Amino acid sequence: MTKIDFQKETFIRNPYPVYSEVREQDPVFRFLLPSGQYAWIVTRYDDAVNVLNDSRFVTNPPYVDEIVGSHVPAHQAIISRNLLTVTPSDHRRLRRLIQKAFTPRMIDRLRGRIEEITNELLHQVQDKNEMNLIEDFAFPLPIIVICEMLGIPFEDQDKFRHWSDVIMEGFNNPSLMEQSDSVMKHFVEYLQELIAKRRDKLKEDLISDLLRVEDEGDVLSEHELYALVFVLIIAGHETTVNLIGNGILALIEHPEQKEKLQNEPELIHAAIEEILRYNGPAEVSNIRWATEDTELRGKRIRQGEMLFVAFASANRDPAQFPEPDTFDITREVNNHIAFGKGVHFCVGAPLARLEAEIAIGALLRRMPNLRLNSDIIDLEWRPGMIIRGVREIPLLF
């Protein structure tokens, strides 16, 4: 059995050499989760794409209907039944309803406001000549954007910053699950009050839009609304935070690429795609369950067994990407899967890309001498399989 210690510090810091060895020697392997359960992980690009598009591997756990059908608290139902974990038919229905409100036109209209927030945050640190990239910029930017989109009052945005941080730490650290569960309860109670106010008086915000949407008589239920807002804030926010953080770190580590982007700012779109491929914010997918016995590269995956797709490994597969360990912002063919593939392709991907383009572009333009204020070896990478990112990135400029 192939062994990867996902909790080992050297692996957390740089998993890519291990993934390279695994892709070559044992590309589909079974491993032990911290929970004591076994799961499979897929590491090659072609296998990853096939699994993400294969209807035999579903994101809804076998017991989800029992949970939703029972009288559990709303905050627990959200964890068990959201856009990432519902059945394929419910996912199609929810996505169809959501896309009526979460449109490309709406995202594009946000450009001006994202630029304003970006410049406001950078203005606050400009004269200090130093900053903590995550705390001062990468963390507040997307949470402010998504809170404003949803219509969450300015004075309550700090609560969502705190809740988002605690909930994600709970996913990565089982010892914090009790604290995370308590925070989730407060999160849902707040949403219950906010949604009730919007039902009484609709406004021009995303929650109001979601309350308005209707498709052939179908509407979002109360629990579905909570779950959707949960995914948008928690999953969407964390993705953007670490996309910005990992992107700046990659550019600092490759000064010739940083200089090229500063000299040719029109390369920002390609640069964001290369950051997503090279060191994206999601290391592995959420869990899939096999609905029937399946064979994958000679391994028998039995019905009900869990399976993950290693985005970080697939996006460095030399069979798909020439010189995969080279960071090249001019890479022409870049069909990475950092946002997933198929029906579960991230609904918030256009917003994350837009925020990262504006944020990284502004940083390089306003702070051209951006550099680390520590040794790179001293940076602390966040533990856990799902999110890939650094806790703090001290910068000088």
Q: What is the pLDDT of residue 64?
A: 46
Count Cα neighbours of 91 within 13 Å in the Cβ-side half-sphere: 16
Q: What is the DSSP string of 14-71?
A: --HHHHHHHHHH-SEEEEE-TTS-EEEEE-SHHHHHHHHH-TTEESS-TTHHHHHHS-
Q: Record the pTM.
A: 0.91
Q: pLDDT tens, 160-179?
A: 888 877 877 776 666 677 78
396: β partners: 130, 371
State the Rg of the chain over Cα: 21
Q: Give the torsion through C-alpha atoms of 312, 313, 319, 320, to 10 deg.
A: -20
Q: What is the pLDDT of residue 277?
A: 98
Residue type, 274: E
Q: pLDDT tens, 315-329?
A: 999 999 999 999 999
Q: Where are the beta strands (DSSP E) in 125-221?
A: 130-132
In whole angstroms, what is the distance from residue 95 CA to residue 114 CA? 25
* Sign of CA pseudo-dihedral 268, 273, 274, 275: positive
Q: What is the pLDDT of residue 343?
A: 79
Q: Which residues of the chain have pLDDT under 50?
A: 1, 64-71
Token pair of 74, please? Answer: 């709303």
In whole angstroms, what is the distance from residue 362 CA to residue 345 CA? 28
Domains and CATH numbers, the chain: 9-396 (1.10.630.10)
